[in-house]
Every structure is written in C-alpha cells, then in structure tokens.
A and B are shown apart, each in its own frame.
Chain A
Amino acid sequence: MVSIHLILFLAFGAVAAAGAINLLVQRHPINAALSLIAVMAALAGEYMLLGAEFVAAVQVIVYAGAIMVLFVFVIMLLNAGVEEQTKGSRVAILFGIPGMLLGSLLIAWVVLKHSGTGDVAVGALPGAPNVIGQLLFHEFLLPFEVTSILILIAIMGAVVLASKPPVPGGTPAKKVQD
C-alpha cells in the first residue's frame, strides 16, 4: 500500500532531482540559479517529512533566501551571459555525464542492496528549535563560537576581496566595461 508519506517523498524528490538535472542542462547562470532554488525548496520539504523543522526553516531562510540572493545579485552585477562551450568542455561532457550516471547508480545500488537501514515514519526525529537550541548552546557551544569567528573572518575577507584594489601612483582605477 502506498502511503501519503511515500507520495510526498516522491513528489519532493522528483522536484529536487528535476531541478538538479535542469541545473546541468541550463546554459544561462540565472536559470541555473532558479533551478537550484527549486532544489533547495524541495529539500526543505524533505526535511519537514523527516521531522527536522528547524533545519527546514533555516534551509529556506539561509540557503534559498540569503545565499541564493547573493548568487543572483552577483550574476546580475557581473552581467553574466550564456556560457560558451569550448573543446575542453565537450570532453568534460563526454566523461562527466556517464560518470555522473555511473556514480549515482553505484550509490543507489550500494545503499539499496547492502545498507540494511530500516524504515522511517513521518516526523521520526522532531528537531524543534528549542531542542536544537539546547544542544547548540550546551554540547556544541565551542563549535558554535568557532563558527561565529569563521563568519567574522569571512565577512572581513569578502570586504577586502571585493573592494577596489589600491592603484599605485594615484591613477584612477580602470573602469570595467560591461
């Protein structure tokens, strides 16, 4: 008997897989970014099915929200067009697509035949924000503080890297042509 859990899993999984394959097919970066947003939204649904509410919310807010907005912003800032194919990329397609199929089939075969993992019900492990917060601020306090330092360094690095380089001799910086 087909349960509603399986139907929802297959629906979200189909969206995620279609988005991931569309990311490979699309030639324009903005289309690739939009399909990646679809993948992330579908993955948030999968997290909800597994009971990870907090992770699902953070997935939508941070990943599909903040990070992808950054991506789309940079694509539009740099006016990125359709990518051109070169000889090297055709060789990469020749080996990359069969490699991807082989890799995913191998993973699927190993996981389905030899993993011996059991079934999972809807919301098997409820990851409510208060429970996650308890873990984060007791057991994982040191890693949490270290990641805050990492974020601080990343902010400074981004500002330094993206700022205009100092021009020797005081001549004005060359304008980037669009």
Chain B
Amino acid sequence: MVPISYYLVLSGLLFACGVCGFLIKRNIITIFMSIELMLNGVNLSFVAFAAHWHQLAGQVFVFFVMVVAAAEAAVGLAIIIAVYRTRETLNVDQVNLLKL
C-alpha cells in the first residue's frame, strides 16, 4: 500500500520541473519538451485521483489529454519548422519580432 499523496508529490515534482524548464531553456524545441513534461505530470495526478475515487473517467481524461498533446505536438513542431525557415535560429531570444 502506497499513499496516493506520494503519486501526487511525484506529479507535482514533474510539473515543477516542466515549469522550470519552460523558464530557463532557450532552445524552442526544449521549451516544447518542457510543456510535454508538464502534461505528463498532470496525467499522473489524473490517474492517481481516478484510483482514489474509483472513477474510471479519470483514465478516459488522460486519453483525451494525450490526444490534445499529440495535436499540439504536430502543430507546434510545424510552427518550429516554419520559424526556423524564416529566422534560421532556434533561440527564442532571437525570435522577438512578429514581423521580419
């Protein structure tokens, strides 16, 4: 028997690491990976709460989060490719203008 709170602590740690990576990273792809890390942390808390309340809807929600993450990854990486094509850089410090 493991307390649910341990799973929640792990989920919070993963989310905090994601937020930190989002703030300190300068490569646009790594920033995007930090967002995926945050989504994973949230998914873990969804599954933990599903086990806590005996509601399978929590696991279905994880499925929906994964679908949205897949759509986000596809569109986001396409945007990254478009940004690289016009700016020829992946550093977010150099992508600070809306218009070239």
Identify the A interface with B (CB < 8 A).
Answer: 3, 5-6, 9, 13, 16-17, 20-21, 23-24, 29, 32-33, 36, 39-40, 43, 46-47, 49-52, 54-55, 58-59, 62-63, 66-67, 70-71, 74-75, 77-78, 80, 83-86, 88-89, 92-93, 95-97, 99-101, 103-104, 107-108, 111-112, 115, 117-121, 124-125, 127, 131-132, 135-136, 139-140, 143, 147, 150-151, 153-155, 157-162, 165, 176-177
A-B contact pairs, 13 of them (CB 8 A): A17-B10, A20-B17, A55-B59, A59-B43, A62-B70, A67-B70, A70-B74, A86-B91, A89-B24, A99-B19, A100-B16, A100-B17, A161-B81
Q: Which 4 pairs show the lowest CB-CB distances between chains A and B? A: A107-B12, A100-B20, A154-B71, A161-B78
Identify the B interface with A (CB < 8 A).
Answer: 1-10, 12-21, 23-27, 29-30, 32-34, 36-37, 40, 43-44, 47-48, 50-52, 54, 56-57, 59-60, 62-64, 66-75, 77-82, 84-85, 88, 90-91, 93
